[in-house]
Amino acid sequence: MKIFLCVSAAAVLTFVGSLWIDKLYAASTELTFPEKISERAKFRKPLIFCALTIFFCLSTDLRLSAAIFLLTLMTATDFEQYMLFDAMTLPLAFFGVLFAWQTNFLDHAAAALIGGGFFLLLAFVTGAIGGGDVKLIAALGFWLGCEKLLNVVLIGSIAGGIVALLMILAKKKDRSSYFAYGPYFTLTAIYFLLT
């Protein structure tokens, strides 16, 4: 019965989520690849459906499923257009505050403040981190707390760095190319939410 519910929820939320992404793209003037929206999104629906089905089957908490849904959509938008939309990050942060209130609020609020502040500082110093990543890390702090957020930042940074290096070595990108780090943080966060 749980598998049927997970598959059904994943199917409905894939449809709704993909429509939401399309509306956000249509309203945005800051897309990285505006002329390649359909080309870069051709595998979006099956990938979101498969990911949500697996994640929902592994989740035992409806609150976490809401975060996982938003993080899955954010993974898609960052891979497709190197964009993390406030329309997704703000609900993630809001529900994270509610979640933190029911756990260890001080630890989770500190994680949001310190993590978001550190990434904001990195954004100013390096110019290589976007505002979406700063807000994502702050929102994840409310969900994960200090220890898990630190793990997400370390693992996500290492994984993203390895993939970036491999893409440079394969001549798919060069050192001046844009690179989406958000998906490595979102996917790592989903892992820690499920464990």
For residue 164, the model assigns a pLDDT of 85
Query: What value, to the nearest 5°, has the Cα angle with vertex 141 and ends 96 and 55?
Result: 65
**Which of 134, 138, 140, 141 is CA-nearest to residue 181?**
134
For residue 181, the model assigns a pLDDT of 87
For residue 179, the model assigns a pLDDT of 78
Distance CA 171, CA 23 (A): 33
Compute, in degrees rounded to 10, the torsion defined by CA atoms 93, 182, 159, 96. Answer: 10
**Which of 194, 174, 178 is CA-nearest to residue 186?**
194
For residue 137, the model assigns a pLDDT of 97
**Domain boundaries defined on the chain:** 2-194
Helices (H), the chain: 2-27, 37-40, 44-58, 62-81, 86-101, 105-126, 131-169, 182-194
**Which of 40, 41, 67 is CA-nearest to residue 52?**
67
Question: pLDDT by residue for the chain (195 residues), tens digit each?
Answer: 788 999 999 999 999 999 999 999 999 999 989 999 999 999 999 999 999 999 999 988 888 999 999 999 999 999 999 999 999 999 999 999 999 999 899 999 999 999 999 999 998 998 778 889 999 999 999 999 999 999 999 999 999 889 988 988 888 777 666 778 899 999 999 999 998
| 141 contacts 108 by C-beta, under 8 angstroms | yes
pTM of structure: 0.93
**What residue type is 138 in one-letter code?**
A
For residue 73, the model assigns a pLDDT of 98
